[in-house]
Every structure is written in structure tokens, then in C-alpha cells.
Amino acid sequence: MSLLAYAVDTLIFINIYAILALSLNLEAGTARLMNFGKVAFFAIGAYASALLSLTGLPFPASLLGGAVLAGVAGVAVALPALRLREDYLAIATIAFGEIIRLILLNERWLTSGPVGLRGIPQPMRDAVQEYQLFYLALTALFLVGVAAFLQVLTWAPFGRVLRAIREDELVAQALGKHTFSFKARAFALASALAGIAGALFAHYLTFISPDMFMPAVTFSVWTMIVVGGRGSVPGAVAGAAMVVMLERGTRLLKDYTALGVEPSNLRMILLGLMLILFLMYRPQGLIREKKYEVGG
């Protein structure tokens, strides 16, 4: 792969992961919903969209199907799990992530098990010459759309209630907010957005398998929003760019230096280190959540 192709490939991954980070940011950054099973909704979107397109459905319908199915899974998880205290919600979502991965691994009739799904159709593959650039534009379009949608929503009355829930849920209830309903809607919406990211991921790679949806993906996405700035839409995008570049950087490094550590291990070490440093010295992240202000 040429350096330019590698750069474009990196940008495509930044766009996809930025959508995933934005979806976690809506849950965890804005509403303090501790979703530690984010990868499950990413995987559901990827597999659902891939399977639908393998049956012959066009890309837009497959992608929509992936998003809807991930959203429905979000509702199914939200109904029991969002009644739990936040630490139990975290545990329940970790478990859900693993359940989904094990289903993907073992339900061979549907997912082909560990072998994974191959030959996932790409949208307009034969109609475009510079396909990578086309896919970069496509993912960028989705990213801009999702970011703009969330920027408006976050600063609208709905987002304000989510922030109030994050700050003190009991007080939000005492002011008449049906907090469960707000949390469930946010969770379902964020799950659907993670499904879109998963679909874009699957159609770009044309191959997916369960080992691409390990809990480490969730850890990376959490790092993206902590580094970027919890609650901040531009922060989540910046965090995704930083983490993806760091992950890619460690892979490149092995071609130029003799490392005593496996690149994948080095990646995890650096991610952990970055997370600790940000939490200690810049807890507000790269781009702090905007403060709502009014003029004189």
C-alpha cells in the first residue's frame, strides 16, 4: 500500500471511528450512561448490514437495516439495564458485548462463525475509479451529517435534559423530567449511530469476523471521548483522530525501528498511558464541552 493510500485508509478509519465515538459521547459524555459494551452495537450494525447486502439488498437499505437493528438492540438493552445504577449498567453492557461476540462466533448458520463474512458488497464499486477516495468522501459525508445532527440535538432542550441527568438524576426527576424515557431514547439513538459506523466499517473492509469486535474496541472508543473531551462533539472527532493515528502509528513504527514489544501491545500501552495522562492533567480533554451562555 502506498503512503497516500495508507493516509486515505487512515482517514476513512478516523471517519468511521469518529461516528462511533460520537455515539458513545451522546451516551457517556452527555448523559453519563456508562456503556462498556459499545462494540456490540458496532458489531450488530456491521453484521446486519453485511448480511442484508449479501442477500442482494442495495447499500442504503442494508445500512439502514444495520442502524435499525442496532437501535432495536439498544432499546432491548436499555429497558432493563437503564433501571440499574450506573456501575451495574457498566457491568451489564460489558456482558452484552461479550454475549453478542459469542453469538457471532458460534451461530455459524448466520454469521459463518470464526471464519467471518467475506465478499461484502461495496456501494458503487464498479462505477467509481478512485474507490478509496470515493469511500473517504462517503464516510466524511456521514460523519459531517452525524456530527451536525448531534451538535444541534445536544444544545436543544433534549440534550439539556441529558446533561441535567448527567449532573444529578434525582434533581432532574424532582423537576419533572421522566429521566428513564430520556435515557432510553438517547441509548437507542446512540446504538443506531454505532450501527451506522459498523455498516460503513463492514462495507469498506468487505470482510468481517468476530475477532474484530473484541472489548478492546470499546476501550479505544472510550479513550477517544476522554481524550477529545467528554460531552463535546468536536472533541469526540478530535479524540477519534488522535487515537486512530496513534494506533496506526504504532503499526508503521515496526517497519522503521526494531521494537522490543509487539506493535499491538505497544498500542495498548500507549493508549493506556495517554488515558492516564489526560485524566490527570487535562480531564476536560482536548476540546472542553461548550458552556451555554447568553448575551447581556
Partner 1 sequence: MLAGRGLGKSFGGVEALRDVNIEVRRGRITALIGPNGSGKSTLINVISGVYPPDRGRVEFEGRDITSMPPHAVAELGIIRTFQVPRVFRGMSVIENMLAAAKGEGADGVLSPFFARSRVKGYELSCLRRAREILDFLEIGHMRNEYAGSLSGGQQKLLALARALMAEPRVLLLDEPVAGVAPALARKIFEKILELRNTIGFLIVEHNMDVLMDFADHVYVLHRGEVVAEGTPKEVLGSKQVLEVYFGE
φ, ψ (nearest 5 deg) of residue 117:
-100, 130
CA atoms of 137 and 34, how far apart (whole Å)? 32
Q: Least distance in Å: CB of 32 to partner 1? A: 10
Distance CA 9, CA 252 (A): 13
Q: How far is the CB of 277 from partner 1 (least distance, A)?
A: 22
Q: For residue 141, what are the contacts with CB-CB under 8 A and spacing of at least 6?
A: none
For partner 1, which is the closer residue by CB, 135 or 187? 187
Q: What are phi and psi of 208, to 5 degrees?
A: -135, 150
Closer residue to partner 1 (CB): 181 or 264: 181
Smallest distance from partner 1 to CB 264, Å: 36
Based on CB atoms, which residue is closest to partner 1, 175 or 273?
A: 175
**Residues in touch with partner 1 (CB under 8 A):** 149, 152-153, 156-158, 160-161, 163-164, 166-168, 170-179, 182, 185, 189, 289, 291-294
Q: How far is the CB of 269 from partner 1 (least distance, A)?
A: 31
Cell triple for 234: 468536536
> Based on CB atoms, which residue is closest to partner 1, 247 or 289?
289
Nearer to partner 1, 166 or 248 (CB): 166
Q: Shortest gap between Cβ of 21 and partner 1 (angstroms)?
A: 20
Q: Residue 134 or residue 180: which is nearer to partner 1 going by CB? A: 180
Q: How far is the CB of 78 from partner 1 (least distance, A)?
A: 14
